Chain A
Amino acid sequence: MNDRPSGDNENKQRFEAEALIHLNTLHRTALRMTKNEGDADDLVQDTYMKAYRFWDKFEEGSNCRAWLFKIMTNLFINDYRAKSRSPQIVDLEDVDDDFLFGHLSALGPADNPEKHFFNKVFDDDVKLAIDELPDDFKIVVVLSFLEGFSYQEIADITDLQIGTVKSRLHRGRKLLQKSLWKYAIKNGFIKEPA
């Protein structure tokens, strides 16, 4: 195919080498954001198609993974979330700063409730607890906890002020602890003090 500009193939190869290698981490975050496999599939595909369209805008040498997460987060907020009709239930009840730590410590040191808790809680419960977070908190928690982005990177990805990132992460962490505590009690891993 001599009529195809040779840069085209090079471009695609560079895209595969630099962008497509991040597929797995985008995929797992998409699963938490959309809460189902079909939407996660679509979201990741749309992210890559958009990234490919704007590939010439990507500054070589800058953080490709963060750039892809920015595209995906924007698509999720502006497109996918707008489409889903499920209302966001925001837990307005105040949660103590040391919710989980305080509750576990209150059980007494006898049979090491902390260790018990961390050993017993299911993977699926953790995923469910993340899925149930209101999107604003979930996005920040996932980018920090699962993907290890710094406060500044999360601020760049979400177009939020760094102070907002910190406060959402703080609140998200507390909400996560609260629902994991509930799961632990529901599943009988922890006996709620009378």
Chain B
Amino acid sequence: MPEIKFDQFLAAPEREIVIVRYHDIFQTEAALKHGKFSKEYQDLSAVIVLDPVDMKKIDAGDGDPVKISSEYGTVVVVAKKSEGENDARANAGHSGVGYMPASVWSNILAFGSTPVSAKVSRSQQKISTVGELTRIQRLID
């Protein structure tokens, strides 16, 4: 019998954030080198950079999957804590704003390049793939 965890029937805490897209040179490079269906591209694209304050509020740790829903769509991506000098701080100064690399994962939420409101919560689901988001499958090996 599968193990039943006490908290699995409780709704994960949710947080309202604004999604802002950004460009990442390594992600662009991965798209060119390995293609937009590749694991390398997905690992650098299906990401949201969150402020430690927001991570705490939704009870998510660095590298945990999080579900993000806007009025345009829903994705599951990896949560990353703000990097660099902000690592050690409890507050990276952008609480309420989540940064996502420009890609199909953020575009499905943002509908263009504008900032868009969304709800973020910890998730037990797997990271969304391109195929799941667009129903498009890779044409080449």
Asked if A and B are interacting partners, one says no
Residues of B within 8 A of A (CB): none
Residues of A within 8 A of B (CB): none
